[in-house]
């Protein structure tokens, strides 16, 4: 894959276009650079992504027909280092990008390629074969993202509070226990076990559940949680089930605190040079074990359902504001299942192929998204 990407750069087959992703920084770190500095920074970043080794001036002069001598390139690289875009590791003559260098590359310098037709067809075929089974879609999408990016593919299942209740079912398990089944538009299901105060006859149960659906179906879980008491308090109920729903609404219609993360591709990301270092590998596994923090990093601070679906966001290095992942980059995009919004993305080292990862994440977000009751064509 990397060789194919390098061939595209050299032969000029990529088209420069307005980046189809949301920039995290509000300022423009490329505005201070002249054209030569932009060109050299772009080539250093692309070369470092490709080789994983410090990039020297002689290497750039040999590899790219840019009409500059090694001395001129070296002087420009020194200027970029002084401005914070490049770093000078160890005693090597080469440079590597800093977080600012990567950010400038992503925001202003890189070309965003389309996926190769065969890869797009592969993704479309896999999603089409799965159909509308959300769990299988999530599992396969993380596997594909991990396989094609050689990094870690991740999915956050949609926030149920943004989903619309399609129907509520109550399944008796014993004389004192029952399972509430919440079916949310888009194929999402949540089950909750509850304790009953008295045994219910099948007829009474069916009547009460019908009334509950009449009052609550068609509302978001967040709206039900906030207004459940007002909507149900006038119902006659000799079973105690309506009272149970009103009392337990904060739990029954709440956002699950865990179980939203799916990921795939650990075998690929562990093969990256950065994760041959025990400390970085340890940080990766600490992150995967901390679901709350992982959700925060992937979802950001905007948890509303009024989001732009399919437009990637890139968070680089220390922008993640967690020391465990200050050497990682995270590329995410929102997808929509029915009324509910989830997040899909890729986690990898800051030395990731941003162009390719962006294209993969955005295409997968597009394929996962579908309106209510729509099947995969």
CA 4 to chain centre: 25
Total length of the chain? 377
194: nearest Cα among 243, 131, 228? 243
pLDDT at 26 over 80: no
d(C-alpha 242, C-alpha 232), whole Å: 7
How does residue 178 score in pLDDT terms, banded at 50, 70 and 90?
confident
- What pTM was estimated for this model as a whole? 0.81
d(C-alpha 27, C-alpha 24), whole Å: 9
Angle between helices 70-82 and 35-51 (to 10 degrees): 90
Give the model confidence (pLDDT) of 50-102 as tens digits.
Answer: 999 999 999 999 999 999 999 999 999 999 999 999 998 876 678 999 999 99
- With a CB cutoff of 8 Å and minimum separation 6, the contacts of 356 are 1, 5, 113, 149
d(C-alpha 54, C-alpha 94), whole Å: 5
How does residue 372 score in pLDDT terms, banded at 50, 70 and 90?
low
pLDDT for res 8:
33
pLDDT for res 246:
92
If one compares 114 and 119, the residue with the highest pLDDT of the two is 119
Kindly list the strands in the beta sheet with 312-316, ordered across the sheet, starting from the edge strand earlier in the chain.
21-22, 312-316, 328-337, 340-349, 152-156, 261-264
How does residue 331 score in pLDDT terms, banded at 50, 70 and 90?
very high
Question: How confident is the model over 276-294, as a mean pLDDT?
Answer: 90
């Amino acid at each position: 894959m990397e060789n194919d990407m390098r061939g595209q750069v050299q032969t000029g087959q990529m088209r420069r276009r307005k980046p189809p992703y949301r920039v995290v920084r509000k300022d423009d770190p490329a505005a201070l650079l002249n054209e030569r500095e932009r060109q050299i920074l772009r080539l250093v970043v692309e070369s470092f992504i490709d080789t994983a080794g410090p990039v020297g001036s002689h290497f750039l002069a040999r590899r790219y027909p840019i009409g500059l001598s090694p001395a001129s390139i070296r002087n420009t690289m020194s200027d970029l280092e002084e401005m914070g875009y490049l770093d000078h590791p160890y005693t090597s003559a080469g440079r590597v990008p800093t977080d600012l260098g990567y950010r400038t590359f992503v925001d202003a310098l890189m070309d965003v390629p389309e996926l190769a037709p065969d890869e797009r067809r592969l993704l479309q075929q896999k999603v089409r074969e799965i159909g509308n089974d959300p769990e299988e879609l999530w599992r396969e999408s993380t596997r594909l993202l991990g396989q094609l990016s050689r990094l870690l593919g991740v999915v956050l299942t949609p926030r149920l509070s943004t989903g619309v209740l399609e129907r509520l079912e109550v399944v008796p398990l014993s004389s004192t226990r029952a399972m509430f089944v919440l079916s949310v538009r888009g194929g999402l299901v949540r089950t909750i076990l509850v304790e009953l105060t008295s045994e219910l006859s099948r007829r009474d149960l069916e009547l009460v559940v019908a009334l509950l659906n009449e009052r609550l179906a068609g509302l978001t879980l967040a709206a039900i949680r906030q207004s459940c008491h007002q909507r149900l308090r006038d119902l006659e109920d000799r079973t105690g089930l309506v009272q149970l729903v009103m009392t337990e609404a904060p739990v029954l219609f709440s956002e699950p605190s865990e179980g939203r993360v799916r990921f795939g591709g650990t075998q690929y990301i562990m093969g990256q040079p950065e994760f041959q270092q025990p400390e970085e590998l340890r940080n990766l596994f600490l992150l995967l074990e901390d679901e709350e923090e992982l959700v925060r990093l992937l979802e950001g601070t905007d948890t509303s359902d009024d989001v732009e679906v399919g437009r990637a966001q890139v968070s680089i290095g220390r922008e993640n504001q967690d020391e465990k992942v200050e050497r990682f980059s995270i590329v995410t995009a929102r997808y929509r299942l029915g009324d509910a919004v989830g997040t899909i993305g890729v986690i990898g080292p800051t030395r990731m192929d941003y162009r390719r990862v962006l294209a993969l994440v955005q295409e997968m977000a597009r394929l996962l998204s579908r309106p209510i009751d729509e099947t995969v064509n």
